[in-house]
């Protein structure tokens, strides 16, 4: 890493500057809009509220498309000497950003008390892919876990208890059979289950791996992967069997982006997707639905996911201090409650859930608490050095097993060998 600016946050001048009512600084903030929920409008409201309270700070929120688009744009801008001060990127981008040497650790701009009270207040599950080498590189904000949504009306029509979702892998198969409907010609009119296999296939697959007993797919240092273990192979065998053997899920690769609509249109009675789609489904589903943790096999389990704030190198001390202040403000209980309620993403700190607004929201929308409670069993999303390459290797081999081009065992052996060849240089 480059020499860092820790003294800026600990000198008298730096602390005095942070205590002022406003800074005469401009900030660029990259934000991905191609995510679940009405995120862009909410971000616009948050940035406007901050600027009204800090009239010397101008935040230019640049809406940058998908997470991948945002990451590419941030790296390109930083390499060109014109980085944003802040960006929301995937938590799994941490090692990529470190490898590019373009982000700064947050502790270097905080007092010891702030490190303890602010950084120490985030849920530990979210920090597992936000910290490395004893430093914090990402601040949890737009965080999520996958959850299971079920159509209560479809359950009742199939003779199932609409208040009891599948709790185990076997339940999911048994209930999926009852929920899969065919017309007189044999054409499926309603699938029992949909687990998307494009967009973020490795993320949802990690939910199966975790519930099959394995603590994620990589080590915390980002230098080793564990793709060819019995737990992972077993998870892939189960995933492939949902279409090929049990016929409760459509065959082939299922689109991530179309999954909420497939659920709301009645095409699939059970779906796995991000908790960040809760607000969208709640506003648009024409039927009663429920939200539950992912079904267990050996144990309950799910991966964490979503986006973190990253702080970019190459800006003035005043800009960096203002950027840190904005991130602290945006993750404070009142703002984090606004964000979680508006989007469905998980409020990443316990103090947010203690506010009156979040307690009232949890009473009104019990499904909002599922992802939070699932954190007890959560494992990190796949994150390594050369992350996009390693993840694509895994995704390609998951796809090969789903469509029948490889057995699950061969697919995971191939994925392990290819990832090992890439990561050997980092060990």
- CATH code of the domain covering residue 289: 3.40.190.10
Q: Work out the angle at residue 91's Cα, subtended by the Cα atoms of residues 28 and 59, and round it to the nearest 5 degrees.
A: 15
pLDDT band at 390 (very low <50, low <70, confident <90, very high): very high
349 beta partners: 122
How do residues 160-205 score in pLDDT, each as one tens digit?
999 999 999 999 999 999 999 999 999 999 999 999 999 889 999 9
How do residues 255-314 score in pLDDT, each as one tens digit?
999 999 999 999 999 999 998 888 889 999 999 999 999 999 999 999 999 999 999 999
Percent of the chain with pLDDT over 90: 86
The confidence score (pLDDT) of residue 8 equals: 38
How do residues 29-44 score in pLDDT, each as one tens digit?
999 976 444 677 888 8
How do residues 120-146 score in pLDDT, each as one tens digit?
999 999 999 999 999 999 999 999 999
How far CA 157 is from CA of 168, 190, 284, 335, in Å, comes to 21, 12, 21, 41
Cα atoms found within 13 Å of the Cα of residue 152, Cβ hemisphere only? 11
Q: Are residues 78 and 212 in the same domain?
A: no
Q: Are residues 168 and 184 in the same domain?
A: yes
How do residues 13-26 score in pLDDT, each as one tens digit?
344 444 444 447 99
Q: Are residues 249 and 339 in the same domain?
A: no
Q: Are residues 156 and 115 in the same domain?
A: no
Tokens, residue 399: 């796809």
- Give the chain's domain count: 2
Q: Are residues 213 and 275 in the same domain?
A: yes
Find the range with the poorest average confidence among 67-71, 99-103, 113-117, 214-218. 67-71
Within a domain: 121 = yes
30 contacts 64 by C-beta, under 8 angstroms: yes
Q: Are residues 106 and 219 in the same domain?
A: no
299: containing domain: 146-303+380-426
pTM over 0.85: yes
Q: Are residues 136 and 154 in the same domain?
A: no
Q: Are residues 26 and 53 in the same domain?
A: yes
The confidence score (pLDDT) of residue 42 equals: 85
Within a domain: 320 = yes
Q: Taking residues 356-374, report their average pLDDT.
A: 94
Cα atoms found within 13 Å of the Cα of residue 197, Cβ hemisphere only? 24
The confidence score (pLDDT) of residue 312 equals: 98
Strands (E), 32-137: 57-63, 86-90, 131-132, 135-136
Q: Are residues 323 and 264 in the same domain?
A: no
Q: Are residues 49 and 151 in the same domain?
A: no
Residue 138, class by beta-carbon neighbours within 10 Å (0-12 exposed, 13-18 middle, 19+ buried)? buried
Within a domain: 372 = no
How far CA 27 is from CA of 91, 315, 318, 336, in Å, comes to 21, 9, 10, 20
Helix (H) or strand (E) holding 150, with range, is: strand 146-151
Q: Are residues 138 and 18 in the same domain?
A: yes
The confidence score (pLDDT) of residue 34 equals: 61
């Amino acid at each position: 890493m480059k020499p860092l600016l820790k003294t800026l946050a600990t000198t008298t001048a730096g602390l005095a500057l942070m205590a002022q009512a406003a800074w005469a600084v401009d900030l660029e903030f990259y934000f991905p809009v191609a995510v679940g929920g009405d995120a862009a409008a909410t971000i616009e409201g948050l940035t406007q509220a901050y600027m009204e309270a800090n009239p010397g700070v101008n935040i230019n929120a640049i809406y940058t498309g998908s997470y991948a688009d945002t990451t590419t744009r941030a790296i390109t801008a930083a390499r060109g000497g014109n980085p944003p001060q802040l960006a929301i990127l995937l938590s799994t981008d941490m090692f990529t950003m470190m490898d590019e040497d373009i982000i700064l650790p947050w502790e270097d701009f905080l007092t010891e008390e702030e490190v303890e009270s602010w950084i120490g207040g985030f849920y530990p599950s979210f920090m597992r892919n936000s910290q490395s080498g004893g430093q914090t590189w990402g601040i949890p904000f737009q965080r999520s876990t996958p959850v299971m949504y079920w159509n209560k009306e479809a359950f009742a029509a199939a003779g199932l208890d609409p208040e009891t979702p599948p709790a185990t892998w076997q339940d999911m198969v048994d209930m999926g059979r009852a929920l899969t409907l065919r017309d007189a010609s044999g054409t499926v009119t309603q699938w029992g289950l949909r687990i998307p296999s494009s967009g973020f296939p490795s993320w949802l697959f990690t939910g199966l791996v975790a519930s099959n007993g394995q603590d994620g797919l990589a080590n915390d240092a980002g230098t080793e992967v564990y793709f060819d273990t019995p737990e992972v192979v077993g998870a892939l065998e189960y995933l492939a069997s949902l279409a090929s053997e049990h016929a409760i899920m459509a065959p082939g690769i299922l689109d991530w982006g179309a999954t909420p609509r497939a659920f709301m249109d009645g095409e699939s009675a059970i779906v796995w997707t991000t908790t960040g789609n809760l607000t969208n489904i709640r506003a648009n589903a024409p039927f009663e639905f429920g939200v539950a943790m992912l079904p267990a096999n050996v144990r309950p389990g799910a991966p964490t996911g979503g986006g973190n704030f990253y702080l970019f190198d190459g800006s003035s001390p005043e800009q960096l201090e203002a950027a840190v202040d904005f991130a602290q403000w945006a993750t404070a209980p009142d703002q984090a409650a606004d964000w979680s309620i508006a989007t469905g993403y998980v409020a990443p700190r316990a103090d947010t859930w203690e506010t009156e607004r979040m307690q009232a929201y949890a009473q009104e929308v019990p499904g909002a608490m599922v992802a939070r409670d699932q954190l007890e069993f959560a494992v990190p999303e796949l994150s390594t050095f050369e992350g996009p390459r390693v993840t694509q290797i895994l995704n390609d081999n998951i796809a090969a097993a789903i469509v029948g081009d490889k057995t699950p065992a061969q697919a995971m052996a191939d994925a392990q060998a290819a990832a090992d060849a890439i990561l050997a240089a980092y060990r």
